[in-house]
Amino acid sequence: MELLNVRDLRVSVEDKEILHGLKFTANRGETHVIMGPNGAGKSTFGNILMGNPAYQATSGSILFNGEELLDMPVNERAAKGLFMSFQNPIEVPGVSLENFIRTALEQRDHKRVRLWEFRKEIKRTLENLMMDESYASRDLNVGFSGGEKKKAEILQLLMLKPSLAILDETDSGLDVDAVRTVSRGIEEFQKDKDSALIIITHNAAILSQLHVDRVHVLVDGQIAAEGDASLIDEINENGFARFEEGVNGNG
């Protein structure tokens, strides 16, 4: 069943157009990968989906469950089921990770969280992500290493249970062990067949351990190629040169 339908999407940042008429669809239960060289517009795509006010859509539409997302406030998108794991998670002093997730759940769903069950669940999720229990009471991302920040994002993903998760460069800056732990967290999320996943990455390390349905190659603000998981291996071997030529040749 169709979850996300993006049509003719043009997006600018500070009056510079980054995405030039993007098309993209995703169904429930699918895992999509967006790959592409630096500067291709991968993060722009994630940010416009989530609603970052620094990015402006100049044309096109983003239908999520048949509903237009453009012009919808960020928190309402979250309430509709969107989630983005940030490339650079923000440090928020004085707000603990646990309290933040609880506040987010209560605000998003407009109902009280049962404290006992919440505690149990966050404890179990922390264990799965090989994170010490003490992280729950630490200030959100403050003093976290790069790897810890990414794990904390996956923790939020698993606690908030969105129907569409966008992972923006979640694998960057992770060592081998952390990649394995994060992959396990993502696999956990994939078990929910009502949800879809968009993984934005420029390297394939994290993908070798995950099931992938569809790969989209983004070059210079356009989808240059699409295919199944075998496309990942090809990119691993040959890089993006072939697709860049194609786009340059067209344009």
Partner 1 sequence: MAEEKTFVDDIDRSRYDFRNEDGESFKVEEGLTPAIVEQISREKNDPEWMREFRLHSLEVYNNTSMPDWGPSIEGLDMDNIVTYVRPHTKMSASWDEVPEEIKDTFERLGIPQAERESLAGVGAQYDSELVYHNVREEVAAKGVIYTDLESALHGERAQMIREHFMKLVPPTDHKFAALHGAVWSGGSFVYVPPGVSVEIPLQSYFRLNSPGAGQFEHTLIIVDEGAYLHFIEGCSAPKYNVANLHAGCVELFVGKNATLRYSTIENWSKNMYNLNTKRALVEEGAKVEWVSGSFGSHVSYLYPMSVLAGRGARSEFTGVTFAGAGQNLDTGCKVVHNAPDTSSYVNTRSISKSGGISTFRSAVVVNEKAKNSKSAVSCQSLMIDDVSRSDTIPAMDIRTDKADIGHEARIGRISDDAVFYLMSRGVSEEEARALIVSGFAENVSKELPLEYAVEMNNLIRIEMKGAIG
- C-alpha–C-alpha distance, residues 52 and 18, integer Å: 14
Say whether residue 92 binds partner 1 (CB under 8 A).
Answer: yes
Phi, psi of 197 (to 5 degrees): -135, 135
Q: How far is the CB of 53 from partner 1 (least distance, A)?
A: 5
Q: In what order do the strands lie in the sheet with 164-168?
A: 82-85, 164-168, 196-201, 31-35, 214-219, 222-227
Among 40, 48, 78, 215, interactor with partner 1 by CB under 8 A: 78
């795509």: which residue's tokens? Answer: 45
CB 96 within 8 A of CB 58: no
Say whether residue 236 binds partner 1 (CB under 8 A).
Answer: no
Say whether residue 51 binds partner 1 (CB under 8 A).
Answer: yes
Instruction: Identify which of residues 31 and 85 has a Cβ nearer to partner 1 in the complex.
Output: 85
Question: Residue 169: left if φ>0, alpha if ψ -120 to 50, beta else—which one?
Answer: left
Measured torsion, CA atoms of residues 61, 26, 78, 35, in degrees rounded to the nearest 10? -90
Q: How far is the CB of 148 from partner 1 (least distance, A)?
A: 16
Site string for partner 1, 5-34 (x = CB under 8 A): ------------------------------
Question: Residue 158: left if φ>0, alpha if ψ -120 to 50, beta else—which one?
Answer: alpha
Say whether residue 163 binds partner 1 (CB under 8 A).
Answer: no
Among 58, 59, 61, 107, interactor with partner 1 by CB under 8 A: 107
Say whether residue 84 binds partner 1 (CB under 8 A).
Answer: yes
Q: Where are the alpha helices (DSSP H) in 58-175?
A: 74-80, 97-109, 115-128, 146-160
Q: How far is the CB of 47 from partner 1 (least distance, A)?
A: 9
Q: Which stretch binds partner 1 (CB under 8 A): 19-27, 89-97, 113-121, 239-247?
A: 89-97
Summarize as ranges the residues that interact with partner 1 (CB under 8 A): 50-54, 73-75, 77-79, 82-84, 86, 89-90, 92-95, 100-101, 103-105, 107-109, 139, 156, 160
